[in-house]
Amino acid sequence: MSGHSGNDDPKAPLLAVVVHPPPNSDEPGPAGPATCQSLISCLLTPNSFYILLGPLLCAMICLLVKLQAAATSRNMLAVLAWMFAWWLTEAVPMPITSMAPLFLFPLFGIAAADDVASSYMDDVIALVLGSFILALAVEHYNIHRRLALNITLLFCGDPLNPPLLLLGICATTAFISMWMHNVAAAVMMMPVATGILQRLPESGPGQSPAVSKFCRAVVLGVIYSAAVGGMSTLTGTGVNLILVGMWKSYFPEADPISFSTWLFFGVPLALVIFLFLWAILCLLYCPKGSGPILSAYLDKAHLKRELTLLGPMAFAEKMVLTVFGMLIALWMTRSITDDIPGWGVLFNDRAGDGTVSKGEKLMDWSKCKKLPWNIVLLLGAGFAIADGVRTSGLAEILTKSLDFLEQAPYWAIAPLVSLIGAFITEFTSNNATTTLLVPLLIQIAKTMHVHPLLLMIPGAIGAQFAFLLPTGTPSNIVGFTTGHIEIKDMIKVGIPLKITGIVALSVLMPTLGKLQNA
């Protein structure tokens, strides 16, 4: 049978243990002092300590913390400490930590196993799976490269205009990131960007400063445009999906956050941040006089040659684009306004955005093996935690402990919330930050008697402002590994970009956000 590993003996163990005897009697055997010392040195490592830290914190809370509520609320707090210790230290792979609620919640009496498992296959999960399958289809049929070359050719200018070319590359990345996960968009666009930069002289002592700066601007533009573009739609980032799932979990009777509803707020916010990003990149990395220098290596002829090599569009490419367009149209028209119902009313509003996120014959399972199940599991963990905090009674305790915020003005809370999210996200994943922060913000909003989304959205979007460190998000790592940028470049652009994002968010939430939530 193909599943066997070369051993057809039915009595053979699945995991064979091989014991090697010592070469001679003078050397210590498997239980000798050298082996014991080696075992101790393997156990006494920082990672081993971090692994034990989660269960230790959990045990300490269960034994020492006394809450004026049911025992399940204390148990939920203990499980949260365990999971976030593992998430923050990354001592255990994130997918394993994300599956912890499946056995910890029933073990501590927080929720039944069936109830927890249902959180891992939500309508939002179907939405993210569909968007990733779409991203894989675009990548498989090389559509992203054709799209990028066409748009870049349009923005190149004659003679070469570096700021305009940079705008074309960044706008292409941001647009792609709107309709698929921002990490997938960065992974797809970075080879396109570096392919254009390969026409420029390699870095070294003889490289022109204008060439070096433009290379940095392009790489920084791709990774930051992917992040900014992803903010504008629900499918652009896992953080937005976590936010939508928690809203649905905590407020099941409220109107859900539809694709079109988020678009109304997300696009203006992303546009403001994107324009500032492009302006600061041009200011720092596209000095006057760089056009003639770059035009010697990079011009429209190069882009036209690249486009010609791709040949005419194949039937499969046209079909993927057709499905892509239909998917966007269905997402935007499922629920339009209260007066103009979308196609969802035909199904008594039982259809969600995940309903239209389906695979086509253009993609079979062998092409979908690269689906990021770690992100899917993390989304499921976020929804399970949101349910656990609410049903265990921990949410009520958090509400009582935040009474002092009731008198605080909203204009002071919103910037602070986004700043906290923007700070935490530099040291842990965007999704983990959102999973930690949003349930607390819901309780703060209840205490302040404001609409919960007025705090949930700044916290969630602030968690996407991971602009300072390479490890802040996988998109940053994609750019950092090209060798064109350094940490100081990210800090130089990231700090003003983060400040701009927080200011824009603080201005739009009490105006456009409040209008949308009214």
Distance of CA 39 to the CA centre of its chain: 38
Is the predicted pLDDT of residue 400 greater than 80, yes or no? no
State the Cα angle at 512 between 511 and 513, rounded to 5°. 95
**Spacing of C-alpha 415 from chain mean position:** 22
Query: Does pLDDT of 361 surpass 80?
Result: no
Residue of 295, 320, 364, 360 whose CA lies nearest to 146: 320
For residue 249, give the nearest of 84, 85, 422, 116 by alpha carbon: 116
| Of the candidates 168, 221, 151, 154, the residue with the CA atom closest to the CA atom of residue 190 | 221
Check if the beta carbon of residue 504 is closer than 8 Å to that of residue 461. Answer: no
Q: Best-predicted range by mean pLDDT among 68-72, 100-104, 235-239, 373-377?
A: 100-104
Residue from 103, 6, 106, 124 nearest 434 by CA: 124
Residue pair 421/242 in contact (Cβ under 8 Å)? The answer is no
Task: Give pLDDT tens digits for 170-214.
Answer: 998 898 888 777 877 787 777 777 777 777 776 655 567 888 888
Q: How confident is the model at residue 350 (pLDDT cuts 50, 70, 90)?
A: low
Name the token pair of 340. Answer: 């103009």
The rounded percent of the chain whose pLDDT value lies above 70 is: 75
Say yes or no to pLDDT of 480 above 70: yes
Neighbours of 132 (CB within 10 A): 23
Return the closest-CA partner of residue 250 out of 370, 383, 72.
383
Judge whether 246 and 386 are in contact, CB under 8 Å. Answer: yes
Structure token digits, residue 510: 């009490």
Distances (CA, A) of 230 to 49, 218, 247, 475: 36, 18, 19, 11
What mean pLDDT comes out for the span 367-396? 76
- Residues 329-341 pLDDT 10s: 776 665 544 444 5
Q: Greatest CA separation found in the chain?
A: 88
How far apart, in whole angstroms, are the C-alpha atoms of residue 72 and residue 355?
Answer: 35
Q: Is-cis flag, bond preceding 159, omega within 30?
A: yes
Q: What is the pTM of this model?
A: 0.64
Residue 138 contacts residue 144 (beta carbons within 8 Å): yes
Q: How far apart are CA 378 and CA 78, in angstroms?
A: 19
484 pLDDT tier (thresholds 50, 70, 90)? confident
**Mean pLDDT of the chain, nearest integer:** 76
Choose between 372 and 444: higher pLDDT: 444
Q: Under a CB-based contact definition with an 8 Å cutoff, are residues 415 and 501 in contact?
A: no
Eight-state DSSP code of residue 511? I
Taking the C-alpha atoms of residue 486 and residue 222, their distance in angstroms, rounded to an integer, is 15
Could you identify the residue written with the tokens 């499922």? Answer: 334
Do 392 and 72 meet the contact criterion of CB atoms below 8 Å apart? yes
Between residues 207 and 105, which one has the greater pLDDT?
Answer: 105
From residue 76, alpha-carbon distances to 101, 242, 387, 390 in Å are: 10, 19, 11, 10
- The angle subtended at Cα 65 by Cα 63 and Cα 66, nearest 5°, is 110
Side-chain-side CA neighbours of residue 122 (13 Å): 25
Please enumerate in sequence order all residues whose Cβ is within 8 A of that of 472, keeping only pairs 6 or more positions apart, or say none: 425, 426, 466
**21-77 per-position pLDDT tens digit:** 544 544 444 555 556 666 666 667 778 888 899 999 999 999 998 887 788 889 999
Decide: helix, strand or coil at residue 181: coil
Residue pointed to by tokens 């802040």:
472
Structure tokens at 38: 């080696």
Instruction: Name residue 267's amino acid.
Output: V
Residue indicated by tokens 């590359």: 169
Query: Tokens standing for 337?
Result: 């306004």
DSSP letter for each residue of 44-109: SSHHHHHHHHHHHHHHHHHHH---SS-HHHHHHHHHHHHHHHHHHHT-S-HHHHHTTHHHHHHHTT
In three-state secondary structure terms, 286 is coil
User: Are the beta carbons of 212 and 168 closer than 8 angstroms?
Assistant: no
**What is the phi-psi region of residue 450: left when phi exceeds 0, alpha when psi lies from -120 to 50, beta otherwise?**
beta
Please write the tens of the pLDDT for every residue from 3-20.
444 444 444 433 333 444
Helix (H), strand (E) counts: the chain: 24, 0
Distance CA 408, CA 452 (A): 15
